Each structure stands twice: as C-alpha cells, then as structure tokens.
Amino acid sequence: MDAARSQPALALTMFAASALLAILAGMMLSPRLRRLSRSKYRMKFLCRYENVICYYQPVMDMLANEIIGCEVLVRIRDGHNILYPDQILKDISEQGMTWALDSIVSKKALRELNERISPNKPFRVAFNFFPEDVKYDLLSRHFDMQLSKCSKNFCVGIKVTEHSL
C-alpha cells in the first residue's frame, strides 16, 4: 500500500521539478530570444533577394502626359509583415549590410522593370543608395553587369538614401 501511495507523490514531484526547470530555462533564454526576435538581429536573414519587395513611384513628363521613369522604393518581407525603410535602414547600416541591400534592390528592380515596361523609349530609374556605396568603380561594375542582362533602354540615376543623411 505504501508503494501505491508513493507513485502519485513521485509523479507530482517529477512534474514540479520539470515545471521548475522549464521556468528557469525560460527565464535564462527569454532575453536572448527577445533580442533575436528584433528585426535588427534578423536583418542578415531578411536581407535576401526573396524578401526584398520593390515598389515603383512613377516619374511623369507633364507635357507629354506619360510616365518616363520611376524611383525604386524598398520594403522587406518578414513573414506576414512588411518592414518599411524607417524600420530597416538603421539596422542595415549598423549591421554593415548596406551594399547587400543596395545591390539586391537594384538587381531585382531592373529584372522586374525589364519584364514590364515598353521597350521602345528610354526609361529613367532612380535608386536610393547608402552614401558608403556611392563609389564610381563599384556602381559602374554592378550596373554594367545588371544592364547587360536587360533588353530595355534604362537610364539609371543614383540618390543618397535620406535616412543616412
């Protein structure tokens, strides 16, 4: 009979010990998990071609009443959420990932625009780049390679990202 009584007591003790261990583990991991869940620490995983979303703000020729180009705007997909520049640019800069983002955005935008615009007229495309990435040799090599893959007549312009000023 004593053995029968000790079974539930042993089970209750084991449950209490397991619960205590789970609580202690949660307390120890919680700050690290919270930190890792912030976009700053996830940016190296989010700043990938498949997560970059390009939006195109049209540039109009008011006399001809036609779109002659666009400015490329960026967003980052984070699961079901969309992160805006004010949420990502500082983190990208602090993580030293400015060229990663700038090159992905320009590559993706030129590919998407090449598939969608009329081939018969020049089309102006303005990109926002971080100041540290505005170097003639770097941009020249990058755009020579990207534009060689395009069948359209793109005129590329570079602006300095406002967030970085």
Q: For residue 165, what pLDDT is reported?
A: 47
**pTM recorded for the entire structure:** 0.74
Q: For residue 33, what pLDDT is reported?
A: 46
Q: For residue 17, what pLDDT is reported?
A: 65
Average pLDDT of every residue of the chain: 84
Cβ atoms of 60 and 68 within 8 Å: the answer is yes
Q: For residue 5, what pLDDT is reported?
A: 58
**What's the CA gap between 135 and 157, in Å, rounded?**
13
Q: For residue 13, what pLDDT is reported?
A: 72
> Which regions of the chain are under pLDDT 50?
33-36, 165
